[in-house]
């Protein structure tokens, strides 16, 4: 586990990371010659830059946990994420953001982000995955940020919802979304060498999932409901030690793509099938060339094998602890992943409150 004493968190990243800047310009350092970057693809130093962005958003949102005002919490997180994102050495375009420009003036789809000096990348952001969770003080709210090489992310604009299944690496080669729920649960049970009665299947608590929940229980498995934020649920299903063995059900297509970026580093899989909500959306998908019967794999959702995912806990959850306060310190826990190396890091960071007054004062 990595621990950071981060006095520099409140200042622009470029002033605190000169070695990273040198490497992003292609200069070698005495640390390792392979840190030089061609400028056309993201390098491994980008990972820690991303986690500083999610830390900022989580700290800003954490100030509003439990106050019942999800819009104010989300606005604070968006503002903090946007400010810190502009210090990241990348030439990014937001593929998955807060919506269209007219509806969300910050982090809108198609916006250029980063300082413009680094590699060209697709960017997926969610300052708060779980705004209602944050407002009500419930578990599993995260700030998330994913990056992949330009053109690698699936375009989610035609259909907002997707039927999903996520499992970890042990069961990845056995399950298939086209199979009955009961059969997939038994395949996961066999792969994990675990009785079906001990399996926990994560499902968004929605009326549309009544039949799915019944099928899961009839197969002998247990249902673990989540209110919102199926990015956290999906990653938990692919990670060891979370007490989540599988995620099933219909959730947002953008969240599926963000989850796929994380799963690239875990060895698990996500499978998805587009789920239009009405005839008009179905026709838009057909017009866009989508096969609505096709099962999309992890590689369909994110084509690149060089992508990054960072998340910081806002509230406590299956993956991460939430933002904590200790006198003059703010403490965060984050997860940062890089698919090319298969590396997953858990980052505990301490931030001096005086550096964060802008985000912590009412």
Give the residue numbers of the binding site: 74, 98, 126, 129-131, 161, 206-208, 228-230, 252, 255
Nearest one of 335, 332, 359 to 6, comparing CA atoms: 332
Structure token digits, residue 328: 């003059």
Q: What are phi and psi of 69, to 5 degrees?
A: -125, 90
Conformational region of residue 211, where left means phi above 0, alpha means psi within -120 to 50, and beta covers everything else? alpha
As a whole number of Å, the CA-based R_g of the chain is 20
Backbone angles phi, psi at 209, to 5 degrees: -100, 10
Binding site as annotated, residues for Mn(2+): 74, 98, 126, 129, 255
CA 249 to chain centre: 18
Element (H, E) at 127: strand 120-129
Whether 278 and 28 have beta carbons less than 8 Å apart is answered as no
In sequence order, the 6+-apart residues with CB closer than 8 A to the CB of 147 are: 42, 46, 50, 90, 92, 121, 122, 123, 124, 261, 307, 308
- Asked if 80 contacts 128 with a C-beta cutoff of 8 angstroms, the reply is no
Cα-based angle 301, 299, 314 (whole degrees, multiple of 5): 55
Closest CA to 203 of 261, 240, 160, 164: 164
Two tokens, residue 330 = 């703010």
- Closest listed residue to residue 269, CA positions, set 306, 247, 238, 308: 238
Could you give the CA distance from residue 290 to residue 276 in angstroms, rounded to a whole number?
11
Annotated binding site for substrate: 129-131, 161, 206-208, 228-230, 252
- Do 271 and 164 form a contact (C-beta atoms < 8 A)? yes
H helices within the chain, ranges in order? 13-16, 18-24, 46-62, 70-85, 131-136, 181-192, 210-218, 230-238, 253-263, 279-287, 298-301, 357-360
């Amino acid at each position: 586990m990595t621990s950071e004493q981060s006095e520099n968190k409140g200042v622009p990243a470029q002033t605190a990371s000169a070695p990273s800047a040198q490497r992003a310009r292609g200069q070698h350092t005495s640390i390792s010659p392979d840190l030089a970057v061609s400028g056309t693809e993201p390098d491994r130093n980008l990972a820690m830059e991303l986690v500083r962005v999610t830390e900022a958003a989580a700290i800003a949102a954490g100030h509003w946990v439990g106050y019942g005002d999800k819009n104010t919490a989300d606005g604070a997180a968006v503002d903090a994420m946007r400010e810190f994102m502009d210090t990241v050495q990348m030439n990014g375009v937001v593929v998955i953001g807060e919506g269209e420009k007219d509806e969300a003036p910050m982090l809108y789809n198609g916006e250029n982000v980063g300082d413009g000096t680094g590699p060209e990348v697709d960017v997926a952001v969610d300052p708060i995955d779980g705004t209602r969770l944050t407002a009500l003080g419930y578990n599993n709210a995260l700030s998330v940020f994913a990056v992949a090489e330009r053109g690698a992310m699936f375009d989610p604009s035609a259909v907002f919802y997707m039927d999903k299944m996520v499992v970890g690496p042990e069961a990845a080669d056995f399950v298939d979304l086209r199979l009955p729920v009961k059969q997939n649960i038994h395949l996961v049970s066999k792969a994990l060498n675990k009785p079906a009665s001990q399996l926990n299947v994560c499902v968004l608590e929605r009326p549309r999932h009544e039949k799915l929940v019944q099928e899961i229980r009839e197969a002998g498995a247990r249902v673990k409901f989540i209110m919102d934020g199926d990015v956290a649920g999906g990653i938990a299903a692919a990670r060891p030690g979370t007490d989540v063995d599988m995620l099933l059900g219909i959730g947002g297509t953008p969240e599926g793509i963000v989850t796929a970026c994380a799963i690239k580093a875990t060895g698990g899989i996500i499978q998805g099938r587009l789920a239009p909500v009405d005839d008009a959306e179905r026709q838009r998908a057909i017009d866009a060339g989508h096969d609505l019967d096709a099962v999309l794999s992890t590689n369909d959702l994110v084509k690149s094998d060089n992508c990054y995912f960072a998340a910081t806990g806002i509230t406590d959850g299956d993956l991460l602890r939430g933002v904590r306060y200790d006198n003059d310190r703010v403490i965060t826990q984050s997860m940062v992943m890089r698919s090319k190396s298969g590396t997953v890091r858990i980052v505990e960071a301490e931030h001096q409150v005086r550096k964060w007054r802008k985000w912590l004062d009412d």
